[in-house]
Amino acid sequence: MQFGVFSIADITPDVATGKVPTENERLNSIVEQARLAEQVGLDVFALGEHHNPPFVTSSPTTTLAYIGAQTERIILSTATTLITTNDPVKIAEDYAKLQHLTGGRVDLVMGRGNTGPVYPWFGQDIRTGIELAIENYDLLRRLWSEDVVDWEGQFRTPLQQFTSTPRPLDGVAPFVWHGSIRSPQIAEQAAYYGDGFLHNNIFWPMSHTKQMVQLYRERYEHYGHGTAAQAIVGLGGQAFMRKNSQDAWNEFRPYFDAAPVYGGGPSMEDFTRMTPLTVGSPEQVVARYLTMADHVGDYQRQMFLMDNAGPPAKTVLEQIELLGTEVVPVLRKELDARRPADVPDAPTHQTLVAAAEAERGAFDDAYRFETGDNWTGLRAEDSRSDNRLA
């Protein structure tokens, strides 16, 4: 089972000091989080995508590439890639390039996002969000799987004889998780393609999470990708820990009460009861997260949000270290032991390559493209000559 941390890179004042981190400080702290996550044995570091203040994560690929150059093992993922407002052509190019630069340590969580104004900023209409997600993802898959694409749809200009470059590393596209907390259509989309489904349930009760995951599992089996139990599931999570449970409550409460996403809502006691947020000792976090599989079945990836609500960078690093050294080793051992042998691990680039080679044979990575429109046999200069003669 894979464990990791994710960040949405919000800039939130530290309620204890009133200090507001600069954009530069926040970005550098995220890089430091990723490096530490690898050092303490976590499997995944993920970064969200937002295009509005108070977030500084408008270009996840840039940050992940920088992190990739400073790490060796950890999988670099997105907490959300906006499939609705990003051009599928640009997604295909950017993440294939990130694959090459990181040796395949890349996957994505596709989502619609939760910021309404972003749609018109990128020339789209939020009322067509589901339709955009469906059409754009279908095109993205074709761009990764077909060397030459002819395509026409509703939401972007047609493509004729188009080749997305670079091609995916080893001929295998990055693995895709579809992230949704409330849209059954996205669970259906994930199931249809046999992709993963990540329910980032940090603000939701387990009853809702169970319902969404169950729908995805049933449809995954319906489409013939395997049994419902073999569907690829990920969950979100959130924790704040200290060796002494009461110390954790006392330290985190001011941040919880002042945070924009929490403040004015349920009390911290109610929120921790209703959602996966766990405040306490590492042992209490272990005990809570050992129960998640009882609700959704054996699953493949558990992600934790550790830097939300404005705690200082030093505190976030302490939380990641506790997670990696005292929580995850116990969860990994216990959850791996209970998982049936026929329930797969989360896909990695290596396992996807092995599966592809078993089906098609070894991949030929020889460069196959020439200057100009090599698919019609015309060179750019020949086309110009023809135009002058005409």
Instruction: Check if the beta carbon of residue 68 is closer than 8 Å to that of residue 76.
Output: yes
Which domain covers residue 328, as residue numbers? 2-389
Query: Is 384 a residue whose pLDDT tops 70?
Result: no
Query: Is 381 a residue whose pLDDT tops 70?
Result: no
**C-alpha to C-alpha distance for 13 and 222, rounded to whole angstroms:** 47
**C-alpha to C-alpha distance for 310 and 372, rounded to whole angstroms:** 51
pLDDT confidence bin for 33, thresholds 50/70/90 = very high
Residue 19: what residue type? Answer: K
At 349, give phi and psi (nearest 5°). -60, -40
CA-nearest of 100, 44, 55, 42 to 82 is: 55
pLDDT value, residue 16? 87
Number of alpha helices (DSSP H) and beta strands (DSSP E) in the chain:
15, 13
CA-nearest of 174, 187, 196, 188 to 303 is: 196
- How large is the average pLDDT for residues 149-177? 95
- Output the domain CATH number for residue 44: 3.20.20.30
If one compares 286 and 8, the residue with the highest pLDDT of the two is: 286
In DSSP terms, 108 is beta-bridged to 176
Residue 59: what residue type? Answer: S
Using alpha carbons only, how large is the chain's radius of gyration in Å? 22
At 270, give phi and psi (nearest 5°). -65, -40
Using the structure block, give the residue that is written with the tokens 């890639």: 81
**Number of structural domains the chain divides into:** 1
**C-alpha to C-alpha distance for 234 and 132, rounded to whole angstroms:** 23
pLDDT value, residue 261? 75
For residue 106, with 0-12 CB atoms within 10 Å meaning exposed, 13-18 middle and 19 or more buried, which class applies? Answer: buried
- How large is the average pLDDT for residues 162-166? 93
Q: What percent of the chain has pLDDT over 90?
A: 77
- The three-class DSSP label of residue 153 is coil
Of 14-23, 182-191, 289-298, which has the strongest mean pLDDT?
Answer: 289-298
Max distance between CA atoms of the chain, in angstroms, equals: 83
Of 196-210, 225-239, 361-375, which has the strongest mean pLDDT?
Answer: 225-239
pLDDT value, residue 111? 87
Return the structure tokens found at 330. 């116990």
Instruction: Check if the beta carbon of residue 217 is closer than 8 Å to that of residue 229.
Output: yes
Tens of pLDDT, residues 86-111: 999 999 999 999 999 999 999 999 98
In DSSP terms, 238 is beta-bridged to 305
Of 41-45, 50-54, 146-150, which has the strongest mean pLDDT?
Answer: 41-45
Query: Is 196 a residue whose pLDDT tops 50?
Result: yes
In DSSP terms, 198 is beta-bridged to 179, 234
**C-alpha to C-alpha distance for 235 and 381, rounded to whole angstroms:** 53
- Mean per-residue pLDDT of the chain: 91
Which residues have a Cβ under 8 Å from the Cβ of 267 and sit 6 or more positions away? none
CA-nearest of 228, 236, 175, 229 to 204 is: 236
pLDDT value, residue 146? 94
